[in-house]
Structure 1
Amino acid sequence: MEVKLAECCGNCENHLTGSVCSVQEIVTSENQVCEAYEFRAVLHRESDCLKCSKFQTENCAHPKKASEGMLCTVWQPRAIA
């Protein structure tokens, strides 16, 4: 079984401050979801290449630079089961 991030408002870039959806123009909760879902990449100091699902794959945007402590805009979290 593959573990994925939930495609819900809490992980959507359309879910704005104040729990308002910029697409639906309504107040939403983090547990709701709609067809306009767009993943929101949130980087933290702990979100480096070693924890990226694209690290050392052909999908890595910067394979020659990717290393511990590095971050980039295409970072995707690894599925942890």
Structure 2
Amino acid sequence: MSIRLGNSCVNCKKFENDFCMKHDTSVSDRHTCDSFTMKNRFLDKENCTTCSRYMSPTCAHPKKAAPDMLCSYWAPQVTA
């Protein structure tokens, strides 16, 4: 099994609730592997207001962040 740091598991079909169904192990959204399969979906809701970093100390552009804006540091909001 070749799991390494990246930023891909969250977009993989086999990733659900911090768990890799392919490798039957816990992973995070910072991992990826050679069996990565991209989810086929396009969402039109990625913007500052749906980013987990919006209005927080980890926001990359706090002075520019605004509704309907999007940067390369967007991160999904985790829901249980």
TM superposition score normalised by structure 2:
0.51
Structure number having the greater strand percentage = 2
Q: Which runs of 5+ in 1 are unaligned?
A: 1-6, 13-29
- List runs of 5+ in structure 2 lacking aligned partners: 1-7, 15-21
Number of residue-to-residue matches in the alignment: 55
Provide the rounded CA distance (Å) in 1 between the counterparts of 2:68 and 2:42. Answer: 12
Question: 2:57 aligns to what?
Answer: 58
Which residue does 2:70 correspond to in 1? Answer: 71
Give the 5 Å matches for 1:18-29: none
> TM-score, normalized by length of structure 1?
0.51
Give the distance between the partners of 2:42 and 2:51, measured in 1 at CA: 11
Q: Would you identify which runs of 4 or more consecutive aligned residues in structure 1 move more than 6 Å?
A: none
Distance 1:50 1:61 in 2: 14
Residue 11 of structure 1: aligned partner: 11
Identity among equivalent pairs (%): 35
Output the aligned Cα RMSD.
3.3
Check 1:43–1:60 CA distance in 2 against 1; reply closer, same or farther (3 A cut).
farther
Q: Give the Cα separation in 2 of the matches to 1:43 and 1:57.
A: 26
Larger Rg: 1
Structure 1 residue aligned with 2:45: 46
